[in-house]
Amino acid sequence: MVQPVIRALELMSAMGQHRLSTIAELQRATDLPKSTIHRFLATLIECGYVEKDVERSVYILSDKVLSLAAGFGIDSKLVKCSVPVARQLTKETQWPVAIGTLDYNAIVVQYSTRPFTPFTLRPSTVNSRFPLLSSALGQAYISFCSDIKRRAILHDLQSDLSQDIPMLQSDRSLAKYIKEARNRGYGLRVGGRGDSSHIAMPVMQNEHVIGVIGISIYSSCYQKESSGEIVQKLEHAVTCIQDSMVRQAQPTEVERTGIS
């Protein structure tokens, strides 16, 4: 066990829970001495994984940290293409945005812009699981994936004795749940008073759903403002992500010609 590596990873993990971090906050989160934190941050800045806002004396993880997940296949490529789009969407609307992928019986959040918005009490939803049959993210996936994929997912859910989901017992309820989303063009969960409402859309590649993107809005604001503008911005975000995925998949000039 190389202790400095462990401590550096703990420091980066602590930074990932907030948009901006001060030395004092990082010390509370890691119990590391301030001098050690200063040295680690200086090294991470030099390597490009951390940036410093000199005026406010705060630190933030840079986009380069995504390169650490470069070997994880389609999910990491989706996240890489989605991060700048999600951040831009949050910048325009101020609402938190999440990117999720399917993991057996739920949508797992791979990236969240919650650290970049004032409209949230939770610092992050990364790694949180959202059910397929009662969340906007889940509805966006199950409603727009292929019929074959949907049947396989529903079969697994119905075979899982730990899943107590009333909708699974009613073909009519399932069909209505899916039809409503397809007619709207997106998944929707409208929360009650004091809760949040969610809108989510599928991200497609070669006619397959590879992930979902969702935006959270205070229910009181969702009721007052027209959701049309939010939906349009979300549609544009999906297009940008899908276009970026296509560009990522195209071979470079060197790969096409073999000339370096």
The domain 70-249 is classified under which CATH number: 3.30.450.40, 3.40.50.720, 3.20.130.10, 3.40.1160.10?
Answer: 3.30.450.40
List the single range of 45-49, 68-72, 90-94, 120-124 with lowest mean pLDDT: 68-72
Residue type at position 55: E
The average pLDDT across 14-36 equals 87
How far apart, in Å, are the Cα atoms of 31 and each of 14, 52, 60, 85, 132? 11, 21, 19, 35, 39
The average pLDDT across 82-111 equals 92
Instruction: Find out if CATH 1.10.10.10 is the number for domain 3-64.
Output: yes
User: What pairs with residue 213 in β-bridges?
Assistant: 99, 201
Q: Quote the tokens at residue 48.
A: 């490009």
What long-range pairs does 84-90 form, CB within 8 A, spacing at least 24?
A: 85/213, 85/237, 85/240, 85/241, 85/244, 86/111, 86/113, 86/213, 86/237, 87/113, 87/116, 88/237, 89/113, 89/215, 89/233, 89/234, 89/237, 90/116, 90/117
State pLDDT tens for residues 125-169: 888 899 999 999 999 999 999 998 998 888 888 887 666 788 888
User: What pairs with residue 204 in β-bridges?
Assistant: 209
Q: Is the pLDDT of residue 254 over 50?
A: no
State pLDDT tens for residues 194-250: 788 999 999 998 889 999 999 999 888 876 555 788 999 999 999 999 999 888 776
In angstroms, rounded to a whole number, what is the distance separating the alpha carbons of residues 77 and 139? 23
User: Rounded to the nearest 5°, which phi and psi values hold at 192?
Assistant: -85, -170
Looking at residue 92, its pLDDT comes to 94
Q: Is the pLDDT of residue 49 over 60?
A: yes
Domain positions in the chain: 3-64, 70-249
